[in-house]
Structure 1
Amino acid sequence: MKQADIILGIDPGTQLMGYALLKRQGNDCTVLLMDTLKLTSEKDIYQRLEKIHTKVCELIKLYRPNSFAIEAPFFGKNVQSMLKLGRAQGVAIAAAMQAGLSVTEYSPKKVKQSITGNGNADKDQVWKMLQRILQIDEQPKYYDATDALAVALCHHYQTSRAITTSGKAVKSWDDFIKKNPGRVKS
């Protein structure tokens, strides 16, 4: 039996950072942790960034994830908010990179599409699908935690799908082309 993988999902933010750890064994997923780091008690943005880095490092040390998935910032009209969010995301990514984890970034639309089938789903719709898929009841206080869980589950879906032909799994389009040269037309 294949050893379990652990995915660390992050919903970055400078006021609240959602984080979740998802254990996957084959196609089965179990929620190990889903929570939020509250940063509003720190007035200084650099103190907040340090807390984000410290928390991500602690999670990596404690749970030893195999992969790291993070939600990409959405493009809004407020440039200052985008800058702050980008910093929070960068600090979390740096912590993952220092630990040697592969980092994958997903747009909010991609995450919603992956979980609900609708890229424009609201946070409550995403949460309800997470409840059904992962069989969890207790809703966290903030949607940031459920967003992080959605990112982790999205990563599971994106990395566990294989293109198959004649019952043989292939890992990429390059692999498919090598195994099926007669099916490619120029």
Structure 2
Amino acid sequence: MRVLGIDPGITRCGLGVVDVDPSRRASMVFVGVARSSTELAQHFRLAKIADAIDHVISLYEPEVVAIEQVFAQDNLRSVSTTMQVMGVALAAAGRAGLPMAIHTPSEVKSAVTGNGNADKAQVQHMVARILGLDKPPKPADAADSLAIAICHAWRGTGLLGARGDSTVAVSQSGKLSARGSLTPAQQMWAEAQAAQRRTGAVDPRRRRS
């Protein structure tokens, strides 16, 4: 499986392509960041990001695109621009006719490090170890994009728009569908994803009772 992982950001958008064989062994195909200048108007910045994503898809021909879910934080302006980049990535996958998977930050951390609360240094270290690299790719956005790709390649769930090639899928509205029976772990993951998408992309740690 060849996966394009995207860590959305308006100044630096991480782009990483990973191949994973049936034994779950992963290898890096490409890693980089799409940059846009703060001196450009917002729509021109988004266009540069879109062009970069289109170029990577055309050049490396991934089978699926995986992107990290944006969570609301204190800086709403930052969240707004990041979500715009996420929309650009969704559109790029749609233009290419590729299925898209969306994974939460804690899901990515758990898949790569075994700890859903791992810090960036731990994630970067494990990405380098998994891919057999001498050191983690820089900047952090690049390493994060590889982590997202690895997460999807290993879990293979949550595809949007897949044609019968996903065991379980959760739509953006939180509708759960499955092909065949699910393991208890898959069922728990799917139900958590469905609940999260029904309540919106808000970090549960920031919800107040």
* TM-score, scaled to structure 2: 0.73
Other structure's SS at 2:180 match:
helix
Cross-structure match for 1:25? 21
| Percent identity over paired residues | 36
Deviation at 1:105, TM superposition (A): 0.5
Q: Aligned-pair distance for 1:73?
A: 0.8
For 2:71, which of 58, 70, 74 is the aligned residue? 74
Q: Matched residue pairs, number?
A: 164
Specify the SS of the correspondent of 2:149.
Answer: helix
Matched ranges for 1:1-186 at <5 A:
5-26=1-22, 27-40=24-37, 42-159=39-156, 171=167, 174-176=179-181
Output the CA distance in 2 between the equivalents of 1:25 and 1:127: 21
CA contact (8 A) 2:69 2:102 kept: yes
Looking at structure 1, the residues matched to 179 and 59 of structure 2 have their Cα atoms a distance apart, in angstroms, of 36
Question: What is the Cα deviation at residue 42 of structure 1?
Answer: 4.3
Note if contact 1:22-1:153 (Cα within 8 Å) is conserved in structure 2.
yes
Letter in 2 for 1:25: D
Tell me the amino acid that sits aligned with residue 155 of structure 1. Answer: H
Instruction: Structure 2: give runs of 5+ residues left out of the alignment.
Output: 158-166, 169-177, 183-209
Shift of 1:138: 3.7
Contact 2:8 2:86 in 1 (8 A): yes
Taking the aligned partners of 2:49 and 2:148, their CA distance within structure 1 comes to 17
- 1:14, 1:49 within 8 Å by CA — same for their partners in 2? yes
For 2:19, give the aligned amino acid: K
Instruction: Note the C-alpha offset of 1:43.
Output: 2.6
Asked whether the equivalents of residues 71 and 108 of structure 1 are also in contact (C-alpha less than 8 Å), the reply is yes
Moved over 3 A (4+): 171-174
Q: CA deviation at 1:36?
A: 1.2
Distance in 1 (CA, whole Å) between partners of 2:126 and 2:94 is 30
1:113 and 1:54, CA in 2 relative to 1: closer, same or farther beyond 3 A?
Answer: same
- Amino acid paired to 1:35: G
